[in-house]
């Protein structure tokens, strides 16, 4: 079979497991916040690979890091360490509350490690009864069986047989619901410091600080899933930095590699010591290629000027959405922080977010949804203002078409 075989959307149905239903558009090239498909149609990217492409497509610093490392060393095994992994870990610990880093390949794997660590920490310190994990309805933490069970969306976890036990779900932003579940048997409370898949829901100050206090009272670990909110997405290097609450364990992925697969769990020395040699591992976790690209992405984003600009671009996004809404009265709320923004459909258009996404794609704009009622935007953190303005013009055209449908 030729390397240059003709590839078309129908080939997906022929050769791929049918758990996805991708767009008919097949992108072949990206640059900055623009993408081109097989027919050379151009799209503005407000989706960012679901908050992954934090520096857009083919950012020169990431291309350089990938090219240079690709000519040096790709993979070892964890019987050895490597320079990019150690440099990145040092930079991450210097910039955060954490002392120690564990590498994985994805957010789901980072969360799996966090959950296993929390259980092992509790077992070592308090005995076999302290196994309860509290998470939140509409939360999302990955697709491994453990993480999907902890995630609060039964549609993703049902239908695969018996689930891991001792997992309980409270209501986000409802502190009383956490109080009703937490006890001295709780080993960890796991949450997103802004719910992404659940609809772009920001935590109230009372809620997030109250959860931390409850964890302290009951000797439970607070685990922040920052897979989507981390690495500059909300205008801070990590979202916890803007909340006045420090977790015990934090997970990071998506934007960490700027598009190259990598995940990490970070924590303190005292907690980390419970993952002794042999208790957990990953064949590819911490490989030099991923870590070299992630180091370049981390260096670029861990910059006060860039992070400040995220807030400015956020305001530009929200003002444009509010202006569109003032004319068309389609959204009940524009919410979110930084460049993770949700536009919530009014009751009249409830359940039709996917339709609006498809109209936007037809106009040349890539967006996301967060549930059936919310259009989600997660563009590059360095998207030019001109691309924001141009994309919003396309979005308004899509809104007009949607309202006529």
Whether residue 272 contacts residue 225, with contact meaning beta carbons closer than 8 Å, is answered with: no
**Beta carbons within 8 Å of 52's beta carbon, 6+ residues apart:** 254, 255, 257, 258, 259
- Give yes or no: 140 in active site: yes
Residues 130, 212, 254, 337: which is the catalytic one?
254
- The three-class DSSP label of residue 169 is strand
- The three-class DSSP label of residue 188 is strand
Residues 45, 130, 136, 140: which is the catalytic one?
140
- Give yes or no: 377 in active site: no
CA distance readout (Å), 269 to 93, 272, 378: 11, 5, 33
The DSSP-derived string for 318-355 is HHHHHHHHHHH--EEEEEEETTEEEEEEPGGGTT-HHH
> What is the spatial distance between Cα 142 and Cα 263, in angstroms, rounded to a whole number?
12
DSSP conformation class of 229: T
Q: Parallel, antiparallel, or unpaired for β 186-191 and 221-225?
A: parallel
CA 206 to centroid of chain Cα atoms: 24
**Beta carbons within 8 Å of 132's beta carbon, 6+ residues apart:** 166, 167, 168, 181, 183, 185, 186, 187
Residues 45, 46, 130, 225: which is the catalytic one?
225
**Beta carbons within 8 Å of 376's beta carbon, 6+ residues apart:** 196, 200, 340, 341, 342, 367, 368, 369, 370
> Exposure string (b/e) for 203-231, b if CB count within 10 Å is 16 or more?
beeebbebbbebbeebebbbbbbbbbbbb
Q: Which residue has the tokens 């807030």?
A: 311
- Give yes or no: 225 in active site: yes
Supply the residues annotated as catalytic: 140, 225, 254
């Amino acid at each position: 079979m030729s390397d240059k075989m003709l590839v078309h959307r129908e080939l997906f149905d022929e050769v791929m497991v049918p758990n996805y239903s991708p767009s008919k558009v097949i992108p072949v090239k990206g640059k900055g916040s623009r993408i081109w498909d097989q027919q050379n149609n151009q799209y503005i990217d407000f989706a960012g690979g679901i908050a992954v492409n934090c520096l857009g497509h083919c950012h020169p610093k990431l291309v350089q890091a990938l090219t240079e490392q690709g000519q040096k060393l790709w993979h070892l095994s964890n019987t050895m360490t490597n320079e990019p992994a150690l440099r990145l870990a040092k930079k991450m610990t210097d910039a955060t509350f954490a002392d120690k880093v564990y590498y994985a390949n994805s957010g789901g794997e980072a969360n799996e490690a966090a959950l296993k660590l929390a259980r092992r920490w509790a077992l070592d310190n308090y005995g076999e009864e302290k196994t309860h994990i509290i998470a939140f309805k509409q939360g999302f933490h990955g697709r491994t069986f453990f993480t999907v069970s902890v995630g609060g969306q039964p549609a993703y976890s049902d239908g695969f047989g018996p689930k891991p036990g001792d997992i309980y779900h409270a209501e986000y932003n409802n502190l009383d619901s956490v109080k009703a579940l937490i006890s001295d048997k709780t080993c960890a409370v796991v949450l997103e410091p802004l719910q992404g898949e659940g609809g772009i829901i920001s935590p109230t100050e009372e809620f997030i600080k109250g959860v931390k206090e409850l964890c302290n009272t009951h000797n439970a670990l607070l685990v922040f899933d920052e897979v989507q909110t981390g690495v500059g997405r909300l205008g801070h290097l990590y979202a916890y930095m803007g909340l006045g609450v420090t977790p015990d364990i934090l997970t990071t992925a998506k934007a960490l590699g700027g598009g190259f697969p990598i995940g990490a769990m970070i924590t303190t020395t005292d907690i980390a010591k419970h993952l002794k040699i042999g208790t957990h591992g990953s064949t590819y976790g911490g490989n030099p290629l991923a870590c070299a690209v992630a180091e370049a992405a981390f260096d670029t984003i861990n910059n006060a000027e860039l992070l400040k600009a995220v807030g400015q671009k956020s305001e530009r996004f929200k003002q444009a959405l509010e202006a569109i809404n003032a004319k068309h009265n389609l959204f009940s709320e524009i919410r979110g922080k930084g460049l993770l923004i949700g536009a919530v459909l009014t009751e009249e258009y409830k359940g039709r977010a996917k339709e609006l996404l498809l109209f936007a794609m037809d106009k040349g704009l890539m967006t996301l949804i967060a549930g059936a009622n919310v259009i989600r935007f997660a563009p590059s953190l360095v998207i030019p203002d001109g691309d924001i303005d141009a994309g919003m013009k396309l979005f308004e055209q899509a809104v007009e078409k949607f309202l006529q449908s």
